[in-house]
Amino acid sequence: MGDAMSRHFYILAATLGFFALVSCGMIFVPSSFQPGLPANGSLWKSLSLVLLLGGLLSALVGVMSHLFEQVDRRSEARRIAERQRRRKP
């Protein structure tokens, strides 16, 4: 169950990264192909930067949650092994 949470953060990071690339590509599209969309290049650059930072932050949270889950899993396995060792003699 815990791995699913970090997987969700990875998916969110990939989605935000994809949209950051799309908004970065919108800088190079002429304004005649963008009816109803902002044609200002600095707005697309800012949006791309915000999406990229959000994706990187989401990836960092996913990595950290995965590491903490792994530490919890290993410490639980160690506690169980120690209990079984104490019960044997």
Is pLDDT of 37 > 80? no
Count of domains forming the chain: 1
* pLDDT > 70 in the chain, percent: 89
Q: Distance of CA 82 to CAs 36, 75, 79, 88, Å?
A: 66, 10, 5, 10
Q: What is the mean pLDDT of residues 21-37?
A: 79
What is the value of pTM for the model shown?
0.76
Nearest Cα to 16, choosing from 50, 62, 60?
Answer: 50
Give the residue numbers spanning the domain of 43. Answer: 2-87
